[in-house]
Amino acid sequence: MKYVDFPGTKERISVIGLGTWVFGGENWGGADDRACVAAAGEALALGMNFIDTAPFYADGRSEELVGQAVKGQREKAFIATKCGLVRENGRVRHDLTPASVAREAEQSLRRMDCDVIDLYMCHWPDPATPVEKTMEAFLKLRAEKKIRHIGVSNFDLDLLKKACAVAPVATLEVQYSLLERGIESGLLPFCRDNGIGVIAYGALGGGILTGKYVKMPSFGKWDARRMFYHHFEGENLKKAQKLVKQMQAFDLPLNQVALSWVRQRPGVMTVLAGCRDVHQVRENAGAADFDLPDGFNVWSR
């Protein structure tokens, strides 16, 4: 495994991180709890110390499983979780008010049976709450030693700048892949220039870049693959498949090629890779073992 410095510190985190949206089995076609815990344990054994979770994932079950996996070896893990998506009466609302932020932090600590959250992030923006108020709540949590570092997720450039004016934002978590390169025009350069580490998710394009979809399957209403990648149909899917053919020239597992491409982009701190079992986490970890040639990064979108 390869490592990079966490922004502003000498702490080292893995360039491939464990994404746990699958844990709990709610949004990705089901998952076995024991297999997920075993996968997280294997990730730590392989040196994949960055673990990303959120209370939104399976209504807190993902955090609980992460807590089980790191029990007795908490010092090996750098845990990131989030706040701001609150379930209520079967619906999800955005809430980054100070009271809700504080309440969610306490709930996450309890679910993971941890004393402190290494990286705490806004999951999605809350248009009804000034980001300045949210950042002040994060600063309070840090002063109380309940969180160690502050990050944001899915912020646009203007909102990120506003957050940075109030608090030391260490990271931005955002979707980035060979198929989704929108951050290259503004967000990524800003993060590079200001020492903000980019945490990339969606590097496999919802599975499209693994080459397993000849045509897009019909996902369930709440399946994350349907919500995030429904636009890769028709001509867009054909373009993606053309890209997959180019990737096959490396004679490597396609998921490793896709993950490694994102990992090598300047400014990217770590790339999240989800998994259902030990086999998948081992294969994802392999993306840290090789570098793609420079010419690979000039492929057209």
Backbone phi, psi, residue 208, to 5°: -60, -40
Query: Within a 13 Å sphere around the CA of 262, how many CA atoms are in the beta-carbon half?
Result: 34
| Active-site residue, from 3, 57, 120, 229 | 57
Asked if 57 is an active-site residue, the reply is yes
Q: How far is CA 43 from the centre of its chain?
A: 15
Catalytic residues: 57
